[in-house]
Amino acid sequence: MREKKKYVILSFHTTTEAMSFEKQSMSNEIPGRLIPIPREITAGCGLAWRIGVEEYSACRQKIQDLQMKYQDAVELLL
């Protein structure tokens, strides 16, 4: 069975917002990847950014400084 791990899940208003986030993440060395949005989260877009909890803590300021847009950030066991 696949072992569950805690992640921070960032949701988005639109697919365009998600794709913009991914592009900026790639060019600014922010780890993580796009996943289908887990059912626990209510959000507009069907895509979400999955990032490790520690990695998110390390990148949070950078995400803010770069004014990268997202809807919400939630911790989930996936």
- Point out which residues bind another protein (CB under 8 A): 13-20, 22-23, 34-36, 44-47
Tokens read off for 51: 């990032």
For residue 52, the minimal CB distance to another protein (Å) is 17
Nearer to another protein, 29 or 61 (CB): 29
Between 34 and 51, whose beta carbon lies closer to another protein? 34
Cα separation, 60 vs 62, in Å, equals: 5
The neighbouring-strand residues paired with 6 are: 77
Q: Closest distance between another protein and the C-beta of residue 17, in Å? A: 7
Closest contact distance (angstroms) between CB of 28 and another protein is: 16
Closer CB to another protein, residue 33 or residue 57?
Answer: 33
Give the whole-angstrom CA distance, residue 39 versus residue 59: 25
Short-list 45, 56, 54, CA closest to 20: 45
